[in-house]
Amino acid sequence: MVNDSLLALAPPNVPQPRLWLGSVEFSAFEPRNGRMQRQVQHRAALAFGYGGHFVHATQPGPMVQDEHGQRQRVARQASRERQLREQLLGLGFKVATRQSKALPESAGELFELAGESAWLRFMQSDAPALRAQGWQIEYAENFAFDLEPVQDWYAVVDESPARDWFDLEVGIVVGGQRLSLLPILLNVLRQHPEWLRPQHLARRRDDEQLLVPLPANANGRAKQVALPYGRLKPVLAALGDVYTLKGSEQRVRLATPDASQLQALGGLPLQWQGGERLRRFAERLRGCPRHEVAQPGALRATLRGYQLEGLNWMQTLRELEVGGVLADDMGLGKTLQALAHVLCEQQAGRLDHPAMVVMPTSLVPNWLDEAARFAPSLRVLALQGSGRKKYFDRLGHYDLLLTTYALLPKDIEQIAGLKLHVLILDEAQYIKSPGSKAAQAARRFKARQRLCLTGTPLENHLGELWSLFHFLMPGWLGDAKTFAAQYRVPIERHDDEQRLAHLNRRIKPFLLRRTKEQVATELPAKTEIIQWVELNNAQRDLYETVRLAMDRKVREQIQRSGIARSQIIILEALLKLRQVCCDLRLAGETPARGSSSGKLDSLMEMIERLASEDRRILLFSQFTSMLSLIEAELTARGIDYALLTGATRDRRAPVTAFQEGRKRIFLISLKAGGVGLNLTAADTVIHYDPWWNPAAEQQATDRAYRIGQNKPVFVYKLITRGTVEEKIAQLQKEKSALAAGVLGGGRAGDWRWQPEDIEALFEPLPGVSPLS
């Protein structure tokens, strides 16, 4: 409404410009999509006041009463009115050519601006300047840009007594009243969810503004404010996943490690209330690693630059009272870095409770050797065998306790009350299933710091990464269901790069990942070679027989239960086909005459050739029964070898024999020898049979390609052409994409059973009719 009490103070014959602003909302037919669509028009009406009477366009001057009480018409100042009109046009206004009900016809000559951003700019910059020049600016009740000025911004942090979470409120001060932005933004999301999506925000310039309505005031009229995207983006970053929230909360509850998000507010002029400790925490976390230490004097080794960086990183996390994942490639010395960390704690006098390391059984000798060699000042106890129980009542007398994933669930009831300074999980991918007994047992300990060591924090899917962080900082990535909805489904199924980037930001401070290519520049070259081999005739015949039978069986199962519930039968079928590719005898067949395996024949030719070149060979297979068949062939040819499988009692003996050169071929089962071995005497690695998980093969290769290797390493993968093995090699590439996306900042992806996968896996051999 026009405020009639506002009378011009100028002389009666001097025009006072009045701009009356209004909006109208209506529905109109949109030819482009054939629908009725909501539209909003905004108009400005220009009129000129003479002695408090307003006229416009071609109207004559108003009648006014002179000092003698006589009525007379005021002569309008055409040149001055023209100047004022041109001033308005200079601000971007154009004469409105279409009729509008935004303002009554008597309001004045109608003008319009190009769009909402132009109206916002006018209201915030030009309108105040016009007022200062004497213009009268008035609003109709329906004017959409009747904005309340934002007087200030504020933030409130309320930390829990246990310090495991905090409440964050970010708001604005309007008319002297504090208003939390969270319910305001949630209301925007309900009406226009796309406005606050990360991809939409990324396209907005910092000087652009978002118009948002405020809660209605006492008289029922709702005002609006314009929030610049330059301020809105950091607020949304601090509040987290606002678009996943529900209700009308004034504050959002965040886990303490999410204090890093407070850094987003660092550049804003805010009134802060509370949260001083958390903001200091966020400042230190943002620059992690900041805490620099010298390597401890008791360490009997010289740390490489990246290893010292790893030590500093663990020390920084300890100072911040959080955990982390040291995810260096195999062979970069994660054990040495962890021992240096424990020695730093001992040297500083903080190791008043023991440190404990949980590991696969096969790694206990390695930890004992490295602790004795590099950290002899530590009192070390390995909990092994039935005699371990006699130490349970005096575990606190030791500096470093070593136990295994196999024994921990058995001992947990007796030792769960033990207070630990540091709890370390080596090869932490062993707890990738959060419901496993080992994972549940590990989570029961109270420790001042928790750390994970693993070269493969993510092998198959994001749920494995969630399990690690559920151990490190429970609740930080939400519960499993929430994590799946917010990250796994968008990233793994839809390649959502925004969600991947968001997850990377959350992980970054607590995950240190270095590859050999990044840090171990002194390592020689590694060459990977696909060695194609052919099935012999007997294998081809059996392969096709098995393929046809299993293809029918798998399809029937999928038809009954669907792909997701047919995993076991699919894997069973693939196992049989893989066995045929390796050797007929693995599939329970013995040829009447001739060779049982074209691959085994090719392998023996390779070994004889490589032996003539004085090569040192690691040969991996997932099938111990296949290793037995290879043993027999080597023995028949008089070729000496070392052997390591799950049945090997003394692991050190074959390792020493190979490293010292007494044995030049080392047969190793992938499961038993994929971790915890240093076999730098090797210069050749052969993978006899491929499997889905490229990380498992990489770990095996890294037995040879690690720090201390001074020879080029050649990696051979034996793959039977045209078979399921060739399809597996292709699918390995797809599985590697997920780990690259999360750990290396690349694109996300994951392999999932799809109908086309089944078609590819059960294709007939080349040259064989599909109907045969």
Poorest-pLDDT segment among 364-368, 535-539, 721-725: 364-368
Is the CA virtual torsion 341, 344, 348, 352 positive or negative?
A: positive
150 vs 245 pLDDT, higher one: 150
Check residue 562 and report its DSSP letter. Answer: -
Q: What residues contact 658, with CB distance under 8 A and at least 6 apart?
A: 616, 642, 664, 666, 679, 681, 682
Confidence check: pLDDT of 74 > 90: no
- Tell me whether domains 305-519 and 526-536+598-749 share a fold: yes
Q: Residue for token digits 């900042």?
A: 745
Q: What residues contact 709, with CB distance under 8 A and at least 6 apart?
A: 331, 523, 524, 680
DSSP β-ladder status, 94-95 and 665-669: unpaired
For range 583-611, the mean pLDDT = 86
Q: What residues contact 67, with CB distance under 8 A and at least 6 apart?
A: none
For range 660-677, the mean pLDDT = 83
3-state SS of 303-324?
CCHHHHHHHHHHHHHHHHCCCE
Strand partners, 109: 46
Confidence check: pLDDT of 737 > 70: no
Q: Residue 201 has what pLDDT? A: 74
- Which SS3 state, helix, strand or coil, does residue 218 take? coil
Report the candidate in 300, 365, 313 with the shortest Cα–Cα distance to residue 339. 300
Confidence check: pLDDT of 179 > 60: yes
Alpha-carbon distance of 53 to 8, in angstroms, equals 9
The count of other CB atoms within 10 Å of the CB of residue 80 is 14
The model's confidence at residue 172, banded by pLDDT at 50, 70 and 90, is confident
Asked if 94 and 46 count as a contact pair (C-beta separation under 8 A), the reply is no
Check residue 147 and report its DSSP letter. Answer: B
Look up the pTM and report it: 0.58
Confidence check: pLDDT of 455 > 60: yes
Cα dihedral 194, 199, 201, 202 in deg (nearest 10): -160
DSSP β-ladder status, 684-687 and 617-621: parallel
How far the first Cα of the chain sits from its last, in Å, is 86
The model's confidence at residue 748, banded by pLDDT at 50, 70 and 90, is very low
Q: Residue 491 has what pLDDT? A: 75
The DSSP secondary structure of 741-765, one letter per residue, reads: HHHHS---------HHHHHHHTPPP
Class of domain 526-536+598-749: alpha beta
Q: Residue 403 has what pLDDT? A: 93
Helix (H), strand (E) at residue 128: helix 127-132
Number of helices and strands in the chain (H, E): 26, 28
Burial label for 256, CB within 10 Å (0-12, 13-18, 19+), is buried
Q: Residue 9 has what pLDDT? A: 44
- Which SS3 state, helix, strand or coil, does residue 45 take? strand
Alpha-carbon distance of 365 to 378, in angstroms, equals 16
pLDDT digits (tens, 9 = 90+) for 488-522: 777 777 777 777 777 777 777 788 888 777 776 66
Burial label for 39, CB within 10 Å (0-12, 13-18, 19+), is exposed
Confidence check: pLDDT of 658 > 80: yes
Buried (b) or exposed (e) across 43-59, using 16+ Cβ within 10 A? bbbbbbbbbebbbbeee
The DSSP secondary structure of 286-307, one letter per residue, reads: HT-S----PPPTT-SS---HHH
Check residue 105 and report its DSSP letter. Answer: G
Residues of the chain with pLDDT > 90, as a percent, come to 23
Report the candidate in 468, 399, 386 with the shortest Cα–Cα distance to residue 427. 468
For range 710-736, the mean pLDDT = 79
Asked if 369 and 325 count as a contact pair (C-beta separation under 8 A), the reply is no
Q: Residue for token digits 């204090």?
A: 259
CATH architecture of 305-519: 3-Layer(aba) Sandwich (3.40)
Q: How far is CA 662 from CA 616, 654, 656, in A?
A: 11, 9, 9
Alpha-carbon distance of 139 to 21, in angstroms, equals 5
In the chain, domain spans: 16-139, 150-286, 305-519, 526-536+598-749
Ramachandran area for residue 95 (φ above 0: left; ψ -120 to 50: alpha; else beta): beta
Q: How far is CA 83 from the centre of its chain?
A: 59
Q: How far is CA 533 from CA 565, 633, 692, 715, in A?
A: 34, 18, 19, 16
What single-letter amino acid sits at 124? Q
Arithmetic mean of pLDDT over the chain: 81
Asked if 719 and 531 count as a contact pair (C-beta separation under 8 A), the reply is yes
Alpha-carbon distance of 73 to 486, in angstroms, equals 72
Report the candidate in 517, 518, 513 with the shortest Cα–Cα distance to residue 456. 513
3-state SS of 674-743?
CCCCCCCCCCEEEECCCCCCHHHHHHHHCCCCCCCCCCCEEEEEEEECCCHHHHHHHHHHHHHHHHHHHH
669 vs 479 pLDDT, higher one: 669
Q: Residue 206 has what pLDDT? A: 77
The count of other CB atoms within 10 Å of the CB of residue 215 is 12
What single-letter amino acid sits at 5? S
Tokens at 305, concatenated: 């630059």
